Amino acid sequence: MTEATAIRKAELRETVQRLAASMPVTDMHTHLYAPEFGELLLWGIDELLTYHYLISESFRWSDQEYEKFWSLSKREQADQIWQALFLDHSPVSEAANGFITILDRLGMDISSRNLDDYRKAFAEKSTEEQVDAVMQIAGVEKIVMTNDPFDAVERKVWEAGNGKKDKRFFAALRVDTLLNDWPTAVKELQALGYGVETSWTDRTKEEARRFLNEWIVRMDALYLAVSMPGDFVYPAEDHRSKMIDEVMIPVCQERSIPFALMIGVRRRVNPGLSLAGDMSMRSDVSAVEALCRRYPDQKFLITMLARENQHELTVLARKFRNLMVFGCWWFLHIESMVEEMTRFRLELLGTAVIPQHSDCRVFEQLIYKWEHSRRIIGNVLADKYERLQDSGWQVTEDEIKRDLNDLFHQNFWRFLGRNQ
Ligand code: RAT
Ligand code: ZN
């Protein structure tokens, strides 16, 4: 190690922070779409203010009937949320603070608190312009969407061959209906011409596999994805286990793609809140253990929603190299949890983890979700390097770049076997 390549102690943290702030990111799970998907791509001020994270927070301050809220136009809903969360009270929550970060980084005058001015500034942009600008500001280079062939609007885009045009966007085939609502899946599959029936016959399995195979190829899907309730058990004598063992794993293996499971949701705890009414739920990590053990050649991307499951899941990743832990999901995507989880993940796994995904639903959210996460992850990493430096281990700028590139980008692609 030469004097020239070693970083002086006083500069170490600043160097890590600078590199963490600018390292290009692959966002491996979002609900964003390429511009070709038209109305499915949400962006703009009213979409930002009516993000379901903010809807549930605004109801903390309101006794309005849920139906009344849903009957309002999007703009009226946004006005109400602005009033409740930004004017009547201070926007200290992660999601509310994130909205302010977005406005600021887009060059708006935060001190004016003038929603009309903000609206005007957004209205001047085209979708394409905003997508380019946001990706540039956020430093996000590649975005993985969440894609569902049962969605009629989305299906048309793929069938017209427009889903793969924008090379910055990648597909993930979402299979929730097949696993969690088989009767609906049967109807959808039949309508698309697949010869399935409710009972678990050989032909049904074959046709379900054909459906997945055809759609993986059509979308060039990077992985299969599902969100599971917290009471997901595997193996079990139930539909889910049969679907996983006889349809999903065989197809993933044939196509050499990972299976992503997001475990620990309790859907519609308060149905009146719609999408904002879902809860988290503690899960049994042994389901993941059983999958990883039974299918050592199958890769699993796993995230869990309950804080209580995080440490055990991270320990499990030490035991199974076919398990990649990813992201701080949903209610865990807050400053304190990202800090805690990143710290023990690095302590248990080194840099062999995907520390964050954004889960954005509205395009500009990329700005705040990544800026906030980059800062925390950079800080935790700096702590670790400082400790090494105290023992005489010199870390170079190139090594810091290598590590951040792994965390924000390359670990995902390497796990997929598709180095970018
Ligand atoms: O984070 C979210 O916005 C949730 O509503 C869900 O979409 C979750 O991320 C999921 O993918 O199921
Ligand atoms: Zn999601």
Q: For ligand 1, which residues put their CB under 6 angstroms from it?
A: 31, 227, 262, 275, 330, 359, 361
Give the model confidence (pLDDT) of 7-24 as tens digits: 888 899 999 999 999 999
Mean pLDDT of 265-285: 97
> Domain range spanning residue 79?
3-416
Give the model confidence (pLDDT) of 288-305 as tens digits: 999 999 999 999 999 999
> Which pLDDT score, from 0 to 100, does residue 17 have?
98
Average pLDDT over all residues of the chain: 97
Mean pLDDT of 41-54: 98
* Ligand 1 atom at minimum distance from 31 CA: 7
CB atoms within 10 A of CB 87: 11
Mean pLDDT of 28-47: 98
End-to-end CA distance of the chain: 30
Query: C-alpha angle with apex 28: 310 to 355, nearest 5 degrees?
Result: 35
* Ligand 1 atom at minimum distance from 29 CA: 11
Q: Judging by DSSP bridges, how do beta strands 259-266 and 224-229 pair with one another? A: parallel
Ligand minimally distant from the alpha carbon of residue 365: 1
Mean pLDDT of 217-243: 98
Considering the chain, what percentage of its residues have pLDDT values greater than 70?
Answer: 99
Cα distances from 143 to residues 33, 318, 325, 363, 403, in angstroms, run 8, 27, 18, 11, 20
CB atoms within 10 A of CB 343: 17
> Which pLDDT score, from 0 to 100, does residue 420 have?
80
270 Cα–ligand 2 center, Å? 19
Cα distances from 39 to residues 43, 145, 157, 229, in angstroms, run 10, 14, 11, 29
6 Cα–ligand 2 center, Å? 40
* Ligand 1 atom at minimum distance from 174 CA: 11
359 Cα–ligand 2 center, Å? 5
Contact in structure between 102 and 365 (CB atoms under 8 Å): yes
Q: Ligand 1 pocket check: which of 33, 330, 332 to mutate, most ligand atoms within 8 Å of Cβ?
A: 330
Ligand minimally distant from the alpha carbon of residue 30: 2
Q: Whose CA is nearest to atom 11 of ligand 1?
A: 227
Q: Whose CA is nearest to atom 5 of ligand 1?
A: 275
404 Cα–ligand 1 center, Å? 26
* Ligand 1 atom at minimum distance from 361 CA: 3
Q: How confident is the model at residue 246 (pLDDT cuts 50, 70, 90)?
A: very high
Considering the chain, what percentage of its residues have pLDDT values greater than 90?
Answer: 97
Give the model confidence (pLDDT) of 205-214 as tens digits: 999 999 999 9
1 Cα–ligand 1 center, Å? 46
> Which pLDDT score, from 0 to 100, does residue 419 have?
82
Number of structural domains, the chain? Answer: 1
Q: 206: domain CATH number?
A: 3.20.20.140
30 Cα–ligand 2 center, Å? 6
Give the model confidence (pLDDT) of 149-177 as tens digits: 999 999 999 999 999 999 999 999 999 99
Is residue 381 pLDDT above 60, yes or no?
yes
Backbone angles phi, psi at 20, to 5 degrees: -65, -30
> Which pLDDT score, from 0 to 100, does residue 1 have?
59
Q: Classify residue 25 by its DSSP letter.
A: E
Q: Ligand 1 pocket check: which of 28, 31, 32 to mutate, most ligand atoms within 8 Å of Cβ?
A: 31
165 Cα–ligand 2 center, Å? 23
263 Cα–ligand 1 center, Å? 11
Q: Whose CA is nearest to atom 4 of ligand 1?
A: 330
Q: Ligand 1 pocket check: which of 48, 227, 326 to mutate, most ligand atoms within 8 Å of Cβ?
A: 227
Residue ranges of the alpha helices (H) in 192-261?
Answer: 202-219, 239-243, 249-255
Question: Is residue 320 classed as helix, strand or coil in its secondary structure?
Answer: coil
Is residue 3 pLDDT above 60, yes or no?
no
What residues pair up with 174 in beta bridges, in sequence order? 225
383 Cα–ligand 1 center, Å? 31
> Which pLDDT score, from 0 to 100, does residue 4 have?
55
Ligand minimally distant from the alpha carbon of residue 27: 2
* Ligand 1 atom at minimum distance from 330 CA: 1
Give the model confidence (pLDDT) of 112-143 as tens digits: 999 999 999 999 999 999 999 999 999 999 99
How far apart (Å, rounded) are the C-alpha atoms in residues 312 and 230? 15
